[in-house]
Amino acid sequence: MTLDEIAALAARFFDAIEAGDVAAVADCYADEVAIWHNTDRQIETKADNVKTLSGFIRHIPTRRYADRRLTVYPGGFVQQHLLVGVRPDGKRVELPACLVCAVAGGKITRLDEYFDSEQVAAWAR
């Protein structure tokens, strides 16, 4: 993949989450994608992550990625951002994050997601 193709994949991925389009997110993943979170150090499968994302979209019906800082390189990308959401009760929540993704064949093959655990706890409250 060219760097422009990798950047386009990253944009498509994050735009799909913002739009709540879980099918489009799933389409960005390779079938055997491994999705890891620093907060629990567990690896999710594609099916598990799609289920997680569906719940996230229900609980945070309005969301956007602010301050996107994308760096692409051969074989992947890193994005730092501020995830801003509004819960159904109207409360605004923010979560700074960093994602490191490996890509091949036009798909994300591995995603490592880093959150500050204290911020995740505040998000959940």
Mean pLDDT computed over 43-67: 93
- Which pair of tokens denotes residue 34? 């491994």
The distance of Cα 10 from the centroid of its chain, to the nearest Å, equals 9
pLDDT, residue 8, reads 98
Nearest to 57 by CA among 94, 19, 23, 89: 19
Q: Which residue has the higher pLDDT, 90 or 29?
A: 29
pLDDT, residue 43, reads 96
Mean pLDDT computed over 87-105: 93
Predicted confidence (pLDDT) at residue 6 exceeds the cutoff of 90? yes
Distance separating the N- and C-terminal Cα atoms of the chain: 41
Report the predicted TM-score, pTM, of the whole model to 2 decimal places. Answer: 0.91
In angstroms, the CA 43 to CA 90 distance is 31
pLDDT, residue 125, reads 59
| DSSP character at residue 85 | E
Predicted confidence (pLDDT) at residue 114 exceeds the cutoff of 90? yes
